[in-house]
Structure 1
């Protein structure tokens, strides 16, 4: 009886150990499966985030667009009574956007982020009448110009350009005023012949006559010739007069 009990006990222990091994093996396999599933989930999440980031970059997502925009160190706009200042600020924004591939809406968001003080207060009221989710850049400029660069002001500047004269200024200064003013008269600057003629008409008579003799074919040639004539005149004025015996 003792031997039978021992044999039964030994058999029972072996069965228990086998059951424990089977259970342990099952737990290990279960953990492996869980780890595998977690790994697949993590890869799926990573791929989804990576896809979203790429999609945002391609479509002009807000965060990537803003970060890229700020690397250009755009100027703030606080409002100005000088329409030229307002126009130059808008042109500066457009220069930045030429280097960025972003949507029209993102252009407006980036630009309005740079508004400060009075301009910021104005925008808080103006944007209430706009669809900010679908606004175009041209629509924003129309609203902006309505406040800071009115049509009457643009017409006035266009008229001033059509009447621009060199006067007592140097050719270099006249060219600066001409280049700045022609932006407001697209009917002239859109035609090379009209632009050249407007520049010539604004020159002082003596310089204009000499420039016409050279028969320039472009505005660049006209400016270069005018500068040469001015330089020759200045040289003659500085040289001592010959004594007449």
Structure 2
């Protein structure tokens, strides 16, 4: 499991590096190097923690993004989100380094971006500790005894991992120095919101107690907002 985690993390880092540096046209991009280092360290940190405390969830997190139990609409979403993600990285490389469409960001904003990325992964640890069913695809995990989780961060919002992703959408372009990347972040957040709505419909129909849970916990992403 540990070897697979390391290989999985390394493959993603290499792939992201190819997209970022390929679009930038140079390896002389300190912010991108820091981004990959931060992502690598944090990913291994949370992966090693899962390997010790919840190997079943780690296996789910490293599984393929198209699965037999997964609904067709979620397969379409995951595919579209993957394409959007790759395009987002390429856009930020073109913007921040190759064509310099964006003016350089102040160091304070770049540091804020790094902090947001850290907080996203840190928040995900609390999500994984509370919810052993936090798979990357929308499905009912009957073989693992899927049930409604309403403890930890789920006592405040119904999709705390998506809440953490909002920080990631803000932090990544700030850290990489791309105003254009930041401008795309709301579009990605809207896409995640649409997935949350569809996911809740499915869970309310197929998972016992989920409809009651949505009545108790009113907010999806951000308390008192949505």
Q: What TM-score comes out, normalization by structure 1 length?
A: 0.23
Q: What TM-score comes out, normalization by structure 2 length?
A: 0.24
Larger gyration radius, structure 1 or structure 2: 1
